[in-house]
Amino acid sequence: MNKTETTRVIKSVATELGFSFCGISKAEFLEEEAPRFEQWLQRGYAGTMHYLEENFDKRLDPRLLVPEAKSVVSLMYNYFPRKDLAKTEQFKIAKYAYGEDYHFVVKDKLKIFLQRIQEKIGEVNGRAFVDSAPVHERAWAQKSGIGWIGKNSLLLNRSAGSFFFLAELIIDLELDYDGPIKDYCGTCTACMDACPTDAIPEPYLVDGSKCISYFTIELKEEMPAEQKGKFENWIFGCDICQDVCPWNRFSKPHNEPRFNPHPDLEKIKTEDWKEITEEVFQKLFRKSAVKRTKFSGLKRNIQFVTK
């Protein structure tokens, strides 16, 4: 099988498994990304996320993660829900956390992906990643042409918006490579204007240490007093910069049953959130990404946004 046929097989398997888009780039050092990432860290935009400073070289060169790596296969998996549970004055959690933790759902898909291409192509060595190792996934997705990095620093796609997870297969096969596409943000600043904590100080640059998602998930300490009253009822993550993005008018509901919310999540009201017990927390979020913040973290977030 030549590399063009191999590339076609890989993209065909991606479609069969429900990935919305698949793009491929050459596994090499991310030369343009290196100084940008270093400057971002130096500005303190990572806040207390010190793990982002670790494995700096691996983050920029996939060949250090997978010896003999030749290609990075970038994939998008849609999670846009049928019903937006945040369109009320109730407390809100980010859409990506409605259902089962994406790390498990997408990783299961990637295992099948690798098996299938090995069945069809033969011996393929590599590793699968879902936000689980130092992989600069948005940079690879952009290089592979499945989207461009928007002013809110998220990957945007003209026909699907931004409500999707990114995943990668780094493999030792040489393939036909896709190229990057044009940036379609234009003069729009909707995401920058809408951010209540001013976490997007300039286009294409997000101060992670000011992001509501950072405060409600990553920050383990007390919330900064100056942020009081700015969270707009978000208690786990935040979708504001995505909800206002014009490209998300093209988002279509996902077809992944494992991403459907727990039936009780839709019914939960403000008072229920305030009185939530650890038992209810475990029942609602047993398999959800919300478990990352732990019961104590969620209680802290709820107290912080309570008027």
Per the CB < 8 A criterion, the answer to whether 85 and 79 are in contact is no
Residues with a known catalytic role = 131
CA torsion angle for 103, 212, 231, 42 (degrees, to 10)?
180
CA–CA separation, 297 and 212 (whole Å): 14
What is the distance in angstroms between the CA of the first residue and the CA of the last residue of the chain?
Answer: 64
Distance in angstroms (rounded) separating the CA atoms of residues 145 and 128: 19
φ, ψ (nearest 5 deg) of residue 74? -100, 135
Tokens for 43?
């500005």
Contact call for residues 67 and 231 (beta carbons, < 8 A): no
Write b or e for each residue in 223-257: b if 16 or more Cβ atoms lie within 10 A of its Cβ, otherwise e.
Answer: beeeeeebbebbbbbbbbbbbbbebbeebeebebe
